[in-house]
Amino acid sequence: MKDINVAIIGCQFMGKAHSNAWANVNHFFDIPFKPVLKVACDLNEKTLSPFAARWGWQETETDWKKVVERDDVDVVVITTPPTVHRDIAVAAAKAGKHVFCEKPISLNTAEAQEMYDAAEKAGVVHYLNHEYRRCPAIALAKRLIDEGKIGRVFHWRSAYLQSWLVDPNFPLTWHQRKELAGSGVQAGLNSHCVDLARFLVGDIKSVVAMMTNFIKERPLPSADAGTFKAGSSDSEEKGEVTVEDAISMIVEFENGAQGSFEVTTFAPGRKNYNYFEIYGDKGSLLFDLERMNELEFFSAEDPEYAQGFRTILATESCHDFVANWWPPGHMLGFEHQFHHGVVDFLAAIEKGGSVTPNFKDGLEGMKILDAGLHAAETGKRVDIS
């Protein structure tokens, strides 16, 4: 098996999830390359060395520009805040590196277009990590839709609800600053919902929306504050929150279906509630990430006396990726979807093909996210085109 040298840029919450996948994927899957964890890069020198030692990265670096220029790096994994996704991805592609990028793809549509154009021009494999596409239960939903089991789709309903920003004393992390995040829950959470809607139902034609900001100022963060993590700051100085805390969108799909998206980080009791419903003329599908191994399926073609939602436990070996893990009935978790992305990404490199979702999917998704923000700002219906 040939080695493939990997660099990761960004070594915080998502850096951990990606490192776990790259370090362990060859233990469970027959893949065409053996990943070599060559270099880890992060601005925080204090946490970088312990991170690299824990996950097995051979070297460390604080300058991402040096990383993408290295001759001994084949793949660049980007897990930084979105503010530098465009710069790193474009530079990596121009240097001939394959790019594995965390969502959201960028700060805006223009940057996403640059990333897609650069990757296509360079002929490298590019992947955008909307990991939920590779949840076996969601892959099953896609199969049932493609096989016509729910017929013509009429409705998509989705919600992504979290609660980690309800406390007004939670600090002003980068997620709440437009210059670093692009937008708030629209980019951070609704990007997942929009990607799944495109994957399962189809392209979106137009959008109307409303959004709000519940807390205008927050305490400045300590160095160790981050996603879901308040850190140790007791600062009384505050900074302005410049992104939305919640957004609701109503959309029309190209195929005529209607859809709704409700997203917030102000839903007490909801830690990571990613939920969708799909209704067609022959049946319905329901999914809840907090029960990620299950898919609810209703078939109107069952005899009337036996109709009702059935729970399919997608842990049998017939479901995507499952045979490589545990015996039937043994649960998969959040981390496994990252492994699945690596598997398909490496297969695309070997075959000289492509993998989805990629930067094209990210671009199309960002058009919808930007249109939603514009619709909320103007109070008008916005066509995606």
pLDDT of amino acid 236: 79
pLDDT of amino acid 234: 64
In tens, the pLDDT along 28-47 reads: 999 999 999 999 999 999 99
2-132 has CATH 3.30.590.20 classification: no
Instruction: Check: CB of residue 218 under 8 Å from CB of residue 239.
Output: yes
Q: How far apart are CA 276 and CA 265, in angstroms?
A: 17
pLDDT of amino acid 224: 67
Among 159, 184, 172, 126, which Cα is nearest to 345's?
126
Domain boundaries, given as residue ranges, for the chain: 2-132, 135-332+365-383
Architecture of domain 135-332+365-383: 2-Layer Sandwich (3.30)
pLDDT of amino acid 222: 79
Strand (E) or helix (H) holding 3 = strand 2-9
Spans of the chain below 50 pLDDT: none
In tens, the pLDDT along 198-247 reads: 999 999 999 999 999 999 999 998 776 767 777 665 667 999 999 999 99
Q: Can you read off the two tokens belonging to residue 255?
A: 């195929």
